[in-house]
A and B are shown apart, each in its own frame.
Chain A
């Protein structure tokens, strides 16, 4: 009996030249769905068709909520506002100017333009360095409320609380409206699916998993989110445009807060992050509401409310998320099929000229850097320089300010006073993603990777700054700089390229993060306690990698460490921080026996006699 799983798997791995793999995977389901859309009107009755056309346009709006919430992690209640913008652009346009091709084009332009501007503004308001997801949700809440109030106060221009009705609109038969709406949903689904499966789409998942890591890989996450908001706002507006073009009525309820929350409920029940879940959720709820609202008005809404609460608490994946988890548990091959990590990936090395072996330019200059929190001084007057080819260990007891120093180097807004120059450029008040561009790579203490992305995708996201990722295809080749590739191969990650990062052991996660940072091709590398939690063998491997990086690639490595044996073995220089100041700074041989180190660490210059209290 042939294994269905492997048959499906090999089918899915097929690729037709020139077409993105993701498209091929959904080709058959899409064609089936398209057939249904064409054939549907001949099977369904008028009443159902009517409901479905509206439901399909609502489904498009729900899709935008899923992309924003399920894929990039921003809970938004405001997509209804954009739906309303599209709706009212058409209604006002046709009411004021009558119906005709020019009027339709103008209304369409108004819908798209206004949606884009509003979305851009709302995005700028919500997404800024240091913003919280809660604030973005708050703003998305306020938007439809503001819009509805504006509609109420618009008099006859907007129809106020009764809305606009009676304008002439597109003259399509019901059947063709169904095909148009169905086709629009299908097209949106397929385009979204391809874009989200592409290399560029991975960045969204990375931002949702670990926004900070993205910033420190040089990605301006605020800008990506704003761009995404604009696109989603426009799509939702187009959905509203179609909805009112069909129904002939534009009411404030189409733009309001309640509708916005209904979209979230649809996505939650259908399964956030699954795309198809948003569509199914929207269709089911809209159709059921239409049928049941006459017979069981309040009970139906009660059922939806209870289902919603249950889903949030017990089944956060919703319908499709739970289906996916259940089937993956049953058949592991199916899991890979349903998962997004699909194409086999091969490694390649980027050609780079090796730097001259004696290059030792100064790449880090720290000049009187201080950091206060109110009256508490964590760092004061810290100054030192570091060159290419140096491996500087920064040591000191807890609370000495080591991690704060790293933060002051990697984030221009962190320090209170003083100046920092990386590769000759002052970092001023630059945000971390800009400083990455100066040649700085930072590795965090707790392995900071993208938990739900595969190893290959993590590395690909790390290359985003250097090579703009494709919005269509998922490249089968992963090209890495030599140093990053060396780490990937020596650590054993090369055999696990398609494994999700959250299943890696601690040591492998640390190696992955190191490889990701090396993929940036930095000239200065900041490492925060990289050996914490590693086995002895892993530590030795790590030491070898570091010494190689410094010698061959002429990196400047600044490493915070507690393991003084490790420090002694690999460093060329030691800086001892104590209570926020530089206590010692010099070559390993000189510092190692300095009595100051012993005193600071163990509190005594020589062992004290037991039982003698001063």
Chain B
């Protein structure tokens, strides 16, 4: 079965500085892979390269077997790729509803999808006509995730989605993402520093250090300790 996402020896960087050094990674269909690592190691840059916001200097990105390395960012959505960025992820001045609408390529079926959003994050649908900037931090993150899920993507890239969130919200997110994977077979690449969240959710993990994948494996009882070794202060 073709992988939902395949990275083959991907290399990129900014100006004269190489940030991603020949990364190879796979996310199988319906699989959840956790990408863990300390700050500044290049995880966000990796996601940006996958989306072509950062041009790849070498290597390939494949979605469902199709080479999309040089495809313009806006075309990737149509291929079933959804992205929840870490920073500047919402249009603060647009309403919650308009932000959600932008998760779809047109408005057909929007109302029907709202029902799903209501199941996952009722607090969002309660605030449908409010400006997104007036939502609390946790609600904004939920909105970002909801917007990504509304289009029923085949692959969902999440960048530090639990940052700055209370435990209760984190748990809710974990539940929703697990449910979506179970019911829809959505594959996910979850970039995180919050280990307990991501290890409870993921099937596999990959440790990212200085632009490279230094360790990878299935999530099991010993994973946390193994990852801890790499992240140790």
Contacts and interface: CB of A to CB of B under 8 A. Distances in A.
Interface string A481-497: 00000000000000000
Contacts of B163: 397-399
Contacts of B86: 398
Interface string B1-32: 00000000000011111110000000000000
B158 to A, nearest CB: 15
A161 to B, nearest CB: 48
A601 B193 contact: yes
Contacts of B16: 504-506, 509
A610 B197 CA distance: 10
A398 B16 CA distance: 24
B162 interface: yes
B195 A608 contact: yes
B17 A597 contact: no
A613 B167 CA distance: 12
A509 B162 CA distance: 35
Interface in B193-215: 193-197, 199-201
Contacts of A592: 233
Contacts of B39: 397-398, 562, 601
Contacts of A603: 162, 193-197
Contact of B220 (A529, A532, A610): A610
B200 A610 contact: yes
Interface in B174-188: 174-175, 178
Interface string A589-610: 0001100011001111001111
A563 interface: yes
Nearest to B36: A602
A607 B167 CA distance: 16
Contacts of A593: 233
B58 interface: no
B225 to A, nearest CB: 5
B223 interface: yes
Interface residues of A, number: 32
A533 interface: yes
Contacts of A564: 38, 233
B128 interface: no
Contacts of A597: 233
Nearest to B227: A607
A579 B163 CA distance: 10
B188 to A, nearest CB: 16
A529 B38 CA distance: 14
Interface of A is mostly: loop
Interface string B157-180: 000101110010001001100100
A613 B200 contact: yes
Interface string B138-158: 000000000000000000000
B102 interface: no
B228 interface: yes
B93 to A, nearest CB: 13
B231 interface: yes
A443 to B, nearest CB: 15
A601 B19 CA distance: 21
B219 interface: yes
Contacts of A563: 38, 40
A607 B231 contact: no
A614 interface: yes
B221 interface: yes
A418 B163 CA distance: 27
A597 B232 CA distance: 10
A563 B171 CA distance: 29
Contacts of A611: 200, 219
A608 B199 contact: yes
A593 B174 CA distance: 29
A612 B162 CA distance: 18
Contacts of B193: 397, 601-603
A407 interface: no
Nearest to B196: A608
Contacts of B19: 533
A529 B162 contact: no
Contacts of B171: 613-614
A46 to B, nearest CB: 57
Contacts of B201: 613
B201 to A, nearest CB: 8
Contacts of A610: 199-200, 219-221, 223-224
A412 B15 CA distance: 31
Contacts of A614: 167, 171, 200
Contacts of B224: 604, 607-610
Nearest to B16: A506
B193 to A, nearest CB: 6
A146 interface: no
Interface string A52-70: 0000000000000000000
Contacts of B228: 602, 607
B14 to A, nearest CB: 7
Given A399-B164, A533-B17, A601 B231 contact: yes
A16 to B, nearest CB: 40
Given A532-B40, A562-B38, A564-B38, A398 B160 contact: yes
Contacts of A598: 233
A453 to B, nearest CB: 16
B22 to A, nearest CB: 15
A506 B15 contact: yes
Contacts of A25: none
Nearest to B223: A610
Contact of A612 (B18, B197, B200, B220): B200
A134 interface: no
A563 B41 CA distance: 8
Contact of B195 (A446, A529, A604): A604
A166 B19 CA distance: 71
Interface string A568-603: 100000000001000000000000110001100111
A610 B41 CA distance: 24
A158 to B, nearest CB: 49
Contacts of B178: 613
Nearest to A505: B16
A529 B39 CA distance: 11
Contacts of A579: 164
Nearest to A614: B171
Interface in A493-548: 504-506, 509, 529, 532-533
B174 A607 contact: no
A588 to B, nearest CB: 10
A494 B199 CA distance: 50
Interface string A380-406: 000000000000000001110000000
A399 B159 CA distance: 14
Nearest to A562: B40
Contact of B13 (A533, A607, A609, A613): A533
A397 B163 CA distance: 9
8 contacts: A397-B163, A398-B39, A506-B15, A532-B17, A563-B40, A598-B233, A603-B162, A609-B224
Which 6 residue pairs across A and B have the least CB separation, nearest first? Answer: A607-B224, A562-B40, A603-B194, A506-B17, A533-B17, A608-B196
Given A506-B17, A563-B38, A610-B220, 7 more contacts: A504-B16, A506-B15, A603-B197, A610-B219, A613-B174, A614-B171, A614-B200
Interface of B: 13-19, 38-41, 86, 160, 162-164, 167, 171, 174-175, 178, 193-197, 199-201, 219-221, 223-225, 227-228, 231, 233
